[in-house]
A and B are shown apart, each in its own frame.
Chain A
Amino acid sequence: MGRIAALTRNPAMIALIAMLAITGCASKKTPNSAGDLGLNGAGAATPGSAQDFTVNIGDRIFFDTDSTSIRADAQTTLSRQAQWLNQYKQYAIVVEGHADERGTREYNLALGARRAAATRDFLVARGVSASRLKTISYGKERPVAVCDDISCWSQNRRAVTTLSGAGS
């Protein structure tokens, strides 16, 4: 099948792998204080900036097929997110829920919504104010990885914590 070949030739996929490598690297370091944030790893991001959040904290978590449970690796990421969000309270937050393409459109809208809600609930349980948090589901309509196999589907089953600018 041409799917594997398409994957390896796909520049978007290569870029994604590179990005994941960066966040993966950053995630090995556990920041102890605000001063730590952004000073290592990818480096240049100003502490407390959206870039700092995306690059040094990690803005997304991944789910198993048809599942909305927060995996252990995702719990680590979300705990880090909560710590950062509790420090930089100027941001309003929208949690986007996404599904892979291996489900039907309407069901996946519901599944994405459930993933976003589970992520929100985890952040609230870690002290992030519920009033700062909104959720939205994109179902399978906004894939980041665009091949037709498991390597992409696992990247698309995600919840992304987005900072919607200086909020309330």
Chain B
Amino acid sequence: MKSILKPLLTIAAMALGMTAVATLPARALVEINVNKGNVEPLPIAITDFQGELGAQISDIVSADLKRSGLFAPIDKGAFIEKIANPDAQPRFDDWKVINAQALVTGSVAKEADGRIRAQYRLWDTFAGQQMSGEQFFANDANQRRVAHIIADAIYERLTGEKGYFDTRVVFIDESGAKNARKKRLAIMDQDGANVRYLSDGKSIVLTPRFSPNRQEITYMSYESGQPRVYLLQIETGQRELVGNFPGMTFAPRFSPDGQKVIMSLLRDDGNSNIFAMDLRSRSTTRLTNSTAIDTSPSYSPDGSKVVFTSDRGGRAQIYVMGADGSGQTRISFGDGVYSTPVWSPRGDLVAFTKQTGGEFQIGVMKTDGSGERILSSGFQQEGPTWAPNGRVLMFFRDSAGGPKLVSVDLTGRNEQPIPTANFASDPAWSPLLE
């Protein structure tokens, strides 16, 4: 398999000196408040970066920021000042008059050694100061990554929160008729670019999830006949069965340290229990032992707890337990059926799928089950995954003949379709790339 991630390690960053003006104390121009109804997106002017590749890069930066819902890039046609030197102080009055709260300038150049040098500067037009500036070196194959890294830097500087644009999504690419669907493991950038296939579509594959710290995913495949959980090294294509259990294994996820896979194992009586497997020692630990369906386990980010689905109370609900299986407690009590709980990377929330009133909803609740908020409702949708900054969720929605990926802000605003060539399901967001 072609190496996907290795060349990315050559990206190097350095801060650009502030020009002419004093450094601003860190100040967020955008306030993110999930309890606030309508956040007005910040008007921002993103100028074409100089150089042959410049406009391509700055367009990707602009698209990232726009899709976040927190920024409103201003139409370039409204720009008054033509940026001649992206390192020189702009005429702030020209940008204030078109209500650009922030301004981005930059350049992209090819170095003698073939690498690309990309740099940007972010300006606070009303304070009349540079807010940040950095330059990055990358090889040719990483043009889009450079743009995502710049978008992350701008997002972080303006919101005070980590970005999530320099990330990937692993998902199931679906094609063909509904009763003969071909399902392939695939990976792409978070904006839908650079799709690569990781399986050939001969066997059903489902529920891929990223390792928190390696270029590795765990997923379920029918390739051996019986559905089982596997590991896949993204760079080498090397695959490995997880454990040697007699029955179906499914619903895998990594522990936050990447050393364990937690999953469901089918019992002979038809019920399913949750096990954790240590990937080094290969030892397995049983965490639940109920005559019920226990599945969809997801660790808290500190690894001390696990949230999961169980129908031990009659219908599927969400439960929390210690990572050793202790203290199993139901946390969902709303009117409906709850499943696919996923602990947020910040640790404070659990995202879920809820079925109620003939609808499927994507929502979040606090880890004690309180404070439930529904972010999206639809005829058929499920399977949320968190962006690494815990601010955006992606899930899949079935409509018009098949599933497609959708992202939504934690506020429930700003639903965005993720472009994919075919139908797509089971998205899982990567951590921020290194």
A interface residues, Cβ below 8 angstroms from B:
12, 66, 68, 101-107, 109-111, 113-118, 121, 135-139, 141-146, 148
How far is A66 from B311 in the complex, measured between Cα atoms in Å?
Answer: 10
Nearest-neighbour CB distance to chain B for A135, whole angstroms, equals: 8
Cβ A144 vs Cβ B316 within 8 A? no
How distant is the Cα of A113 from the Cα of B181 in the complex, in angstroms?
20
The yes or no answer to B382 lying at the interface (CB within 8 A) is yes
A136 CA to B226 CA in the complex, in Å?
7
B65 interface residue (CB < 8 Å to A): no
Whether A148 and B379, one on each chain, are in contact in the complex, defined by CB atoms closer than 8 angstroms, is yes
B99 within 8 A of A: no
Of B204, B272, B379, chain A has the most CB atoms within 10 Å of the CB of B272
Q: List which B170-188 residues lie within 8 A (CB) of chain A.
A: 177-179, 181, 183
What secondary structure prevails in chain A residues at the interface with B?
mixed
A-B contact pairs, 16 of them (CB 8 A): A102-B355, A103-B316, A103-B337, A105-B340, A106-B296, A106-B339, A107-B293, A107-B311, A107-B339, A109-B250, A109-B295, A113-B247, A136-B226, A136-B248, A141-B183, A143-B179
Interface presence of B380 (CB below 8 A): yes
Q: In the bound complex, what is the Cα–Cα distance between A31 and B35 (angstroms)?
A: 67
A104 lies within 8 A of B340 (CB) = yes
CB distance from A17 to the nearest CB of B (A): 15
Q: Would you give the shortest CB distance from A149 to chain B, in whole angstroms? A: 10
Cβ of B199 under 8 Å from chain A: no
CB distance from B304 to the nearest CB of A (A): 23
- The reply to whether A104 and B379 form a contact with Cβ atoms under 8 Å apart is no
Checking B227, B269, B353 against A109 with a beta-carbon cut-off of 8 angstroms, the contacting residue is: B227
Interface string of B349-376 (1 = CB under 8 A from A): 0000101000000000000000000000
With the chains together, A111 CA to B271 CA distance in Å?
8
User: Could you say which of A101, A107, A138 has the most chain B C-beta atoms within 10 Å of its C-beta?
Assistant: A107
A106-B309, A137-B227 as given contacts; A114 in contact with B355, CB under 8 Å: no
- Known contacts A104-B339, A106-B309, A114-B293; is A137 also within 8 Å of B248 by CB? yes
The answer to whether B251 has its CB under 8 Å from any CB of chain A is yes
- Complex Cα–Cα for A36 and B309 (A): 48
Is B432's CB within 8 Å of the partner chain A?
no
Which of A102, A106, A118, A137 is within 8 Å of B251, CB to CB?
A: A106
